[in-house]
């Protein structure tokens, strides 16, 4: 079937093995971080470092929720209440922040609590098939614009007077 459009299956996912390995490393790191003991903590940090290196090596885009669980200082996994302390802050400009402080090295990550003005990449409903032109969903804001444009066009056609087909005599 040359030239025809084919649906991509799960087997044709590029870097499938890499994603599976990343999944294993992240899950193992989380499990070991919740287990008490220094040997488990060191192994958890090793898995986190391996996770980060593998993602960088293959130039893969990670979810912001996953990135927020990794410490930038020691590359360990930050589990709230066990390996990290979570604080809620308010800046002078009234912006609320969540600060996650690593208990191992003391470094912290902070990000706004409120809804970002710009949606995260993963929250947009675009995939590689969308970019390639197979299917591009219309965002809700654009759908409203398109709908209002269509309504305006329909109103203009209805509101325009039509010339009578035959002359009327008075």
Please count the other Cβ atoms lying within 10 Å of the Cβ belonging to residue 100: 20
Dist. CA 168–CA 163, nearest whole Å: 11
Domain membership flag for residue 75: yes
Domain membership flag for residue 165: no
The pLDDT value recorded for residue 115 is: 59
Number of H helices, E strands in the chain: 5, 3
Dist. CA 46–CA 75, nearest whole Å: 8
Domain membership flag for residue 113: yes
pLDDT, tens digit only, all 170 positions of the chain: 455 455 555 567 788 999 999 999 999 999 999 988 889 999 999 999 999 999 999 999 888 889 989 999 999 999 999 999 999 988 888 888 899 999 999 999 988 886 556 666 666 655 555 555 555 454 454 444 344 444 444 444 444 445 555 555 54
Contacts of 160 (CB under 8 A, 6+ apart): none
Q: Which domain holds residue 80?
A: 14-137
Domain membership flag for residue 28: yes
Q: How far is CA 11 from CA 8, 60, 156, in A?
A: 8, 18, 51
Please count the other Cβ atoms lying within 10 Å of the Cβ belonging to residue 21: 15
Domain membership flag for residue 53: yes
Contacts of 149 (CB under 8 A, 6+ apart): none
DSSP symbols for 58-90: TT-PPPHHHHTTB-TTT--B--BTTTEEEEEEE
The pLDDT value recorded for residue 148 is: 41
Domain membership flag for residue 109: yes
Domain count, the chain: 1
pTM for the structure as a whole? 0.60
The tokens describing 23, both together, are: 């999944």
Domain membership flag for residue 124: yes
Burial class (CB in 10 A: 0-12, 13-18, 19+), 48: buried
Domain membership flag for residue 160: no
The pLDDT value recorded for residue 91 is: 82
Dist. CA 93–CA 9, nearest whole Å: 48
């Amino acid at each position: 079937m040359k030239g025809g459009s084919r649906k991509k299956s799960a087997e044709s996912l590029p870097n499938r093995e890499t994603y599976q390995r990343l999944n294993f490393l992240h899950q193992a790191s989380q499990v070991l971080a919740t287990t008490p003991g220094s040997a488990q903590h060191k192994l958890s940090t090793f898995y986190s470092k391996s996770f980060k290196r593998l993602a960088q090596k293959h130039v893969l885009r990670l979810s912001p929720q996953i990135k927020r669980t990794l410490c930038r200082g020691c590359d360990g996994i930050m589990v709230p209440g066990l390996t990290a302390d979570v604080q809620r802050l308010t800046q002078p400009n009234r912006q609320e922040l969540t600060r996650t402080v690593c208990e191992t090295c003391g470094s912290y990550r902070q990000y706004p609590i409120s809804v970002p003005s710009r949606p995260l990449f993963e929250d947009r409903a675009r995939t590689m098939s969308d970019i390639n032109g197979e299917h591009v969903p219309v965002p809700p804001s654009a759908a409203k614009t398109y709908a209002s444009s269509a309504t305006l066009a329909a109103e203009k056609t209805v509101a325009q007077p039509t010339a009578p087909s035959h002359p009327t005599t008075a």
